[in-house]
Amino acid sequence: MTTPDIHSTSEELGIVELYGAPISTFTRTISLAMHHLNLPYIARQHLPHTPQVREHNPLGLIPVLIHRPHAPFDLNKDVVVLYESAAVKSYLDDALAGIAAGRRHGSASPPPLTPPLDRAHLVTSSHTRATVSQISSLAATSVFPALEPKLIKVRQAMEGNGADEESIKVALEEGMEGARSALHILEGFLEENAKKQSSGPLYFVGNTPTWADLYVYPILADLAATPEGKTLLDPNGKAPKVAAWVQHFAGLDMAKKTYPGSVPDLRKQEGKAGHQ
């Protein structure tokens, strides 16, 4: 944790707490951002709908971000409590990333997760920013429902109940269709961006990680840790760019730091298919 100075200005970080769980993809999106921005925070590990989460989010969903800007001197002054990852994302971009940059004292800042608006290239830079929002929203509202509850969670529940592989495969047929459609859309975004980049590792927008990658990765990392993922993310299959992107992203520091306790980690520990 950071050690704020008692004579601090508003630039001090104070204390940031993240309520959530490593198995939660939405929590992992925010943790990835914290690591990317090099922001120290306290991980408060709580599952959805627990009293600790409900105290801050009436819906009981995770993640929840709490920022105590005047901590440790005054824990309760101007406390910011945010649930809904899109709101947390805005706050990280607008407040915490800036404070983190101010604390770096000259060392290079990580690239922003939302690319800046460039008044000299208003249309192009607005389009880039909108594409980051578009993919982030798509991940949260279409890719997540297609892959997590309809495929990954079904497999895990059936495995837990001792179902045989044959029955699991039959039960997942419909989910596989939805997953293929979701991956097809993501493949299209990666193809579009690849056309604009001359070289370098592939990201969803531009040539550095953005919120788009941070929203998609936790879901696809879970998928990659299942037998279905091995088929759908085959490098010679129908979504080769997505397959390569997952492999590349898994090697980034922020992905490694948020791996412990994630679904891929737990599956690996249980000896089930998993490599992300």
Q: Is 48 in the site for ligand GSH (CB under 6 A)?
A: yes
The residues, ordered by sequence, that sit 6+ positions from 181 with a Cβ below 8 Å of its Cβ are 146
Question: Max Cα separation, the chain?
Answer: 65
Nearer to ligand GSH, 26 or 211 (CB): 26
Q: Which of 31, 85, 210, 258 touches ligand GSH by CB under 6 A?
A: 85
Comparison of 87 and 194: residue with beta carbon closer to ligand GSH: 87
Supply the DSSP symbol for 121: G
Stretch that binds ligand GSH, among 84-92, 156-164, 193-201, 243-251 (CB under 6 A): 84-92
Q: Give the H/E segment covering residue 211.
A: helix 211-224
- Beta bridge pairs of residue 231: none
Nearest distance from C-beta of residue 182 to ligand GSH, angstroms: 16
Closest CA to 260 of 19, 1, 22: 22
39, HSE (Cβ side, Cα atoms, 13 Å): 30
Q: Does 262 bind ligand GSH (CB under 6 A)?
A: no
User: Rounded to whole angstroms, how far apart are CA atoms 73 and 197?
Assistant: 48
Distance CA 67, CA 51 (A): 19
- Residue closer to ligand GSH, measured from CB, 89 or 241: 89
Which residues in 200-259 contact ligand GSH (CB under 6 A)? none
- How many residues does this entry show for the chain? 276
Q: Which is nearer to ligand GSH, 62 or 96 (CB)?
A: 62
The answer to the question of residue 151 lying near ligand GSH (CB under 6 A) is no
**What residues contact 242, with CB distance under 8 A and at least 6 apart?**
183, 186, 187, 190, 220, 233
Residue 183 is classified by DSSP as: H
For residue 24, state whether it binds ligand GSH (rule: CB under 6 A): yes
String of contacts with ligand GSH for each residue 103-142, x by CB under 6 A: -------------------------------------x--
Q: Which stretch binds ligand GSH (CB under 6 A): 34-42, 80-88, 180-188, 202-210?
A: 80-88
62 binds ligand GSH (CB under 6 A): yes
Site of interaction with ligand GSH (CB under 6 A): 24-26, 48, 61-62, 84-86, 140
